[in-house]
Structure 1
Amino acid sequence: MPREQPSWVHEQRRTLGRRIRDLRTQKGHTQEVLVEMTDIDRRTFQRIEAGTSDPRYGDLLRIAAALQVPLVELVK
């Protein structure tokens, strides 16, 4: 049975998802375009943006590359 995570973990996930969404919209991309650019499953990408999924490191690297931002800017 999975262990319950502290509330700050959930908040950080939501913050990351908002940051990805904001950067994506600033670049003028839809979710569909970013999904194609990153080769991340559409549902997985939706969950990352919604803050309900723990993204894998490789997914974050691909998202940062597609948005043309350093990884550190994506997760700050």
Structure 2
Amino acid sequence: MPLSPLPDDSVVARRREIGENIRDIRRTAGLSQEAVALAAGIERPTLVRIEAAQASARIDTLIRIAAVLDVELSVLVRKR
């Protein structure tokens, strides 16, 4: 199976913005990574990687994170 190509810089930059949005909203809500991950049905290390832009989040995961944070999905993916 061939390896996936590395994402270009613009993709990594957008991934970083999304991760920062999630982290900022989570912190403002006073929630831990563990609490958000548990409520969203994902592992804490997965949330850590998403917030740190080390992994791409599936749309389903972003929808669940948005629900836990009580924001629209568009808020998570907005440009900074």
Q: TM-score range by the shorter chain?
A: over 0.9
Aligned position for 2:27: 25
Structure 1 or 2: larger helix share? Answer: 1
Q: Aligned pair count?
A: 76
Aligned letter for 1:64? A
Counterpart of 1:64 in structure 2 is 66
TM-score by length of 1: 0.94
Task: After TM superposition, give the deviation of residue 4 of structure 1 in Å.
Answer: 2.2
1:25-75 Cα deviation digits (max 9, x unpaired): 000001011111111111111100111111001100000000000111111
Q: Percent identity?
A: 38
Superposition CA RMSD, Å? 0.8
**CA separation in 2, counterparts of 1:36 and 1:46?**
13
Between the aligned partners of 1:64 and 1:16, the Cα distance in structure 2 is 11
Q: Where does residue 7 of structure 2 map in the other structure?
A: 5
Segments of 5+ residues of structure 1 without an aligned counterpart are none
- Residue 16 of structure 1 aligns to a residue whose secondary structure is helix
Code of the aligned partner of 2:28: Q
Q: Name the SS of the counterpart of 2:54 in structure 1.
A: coil
TM-score, with length taken from structure 2: 0.90
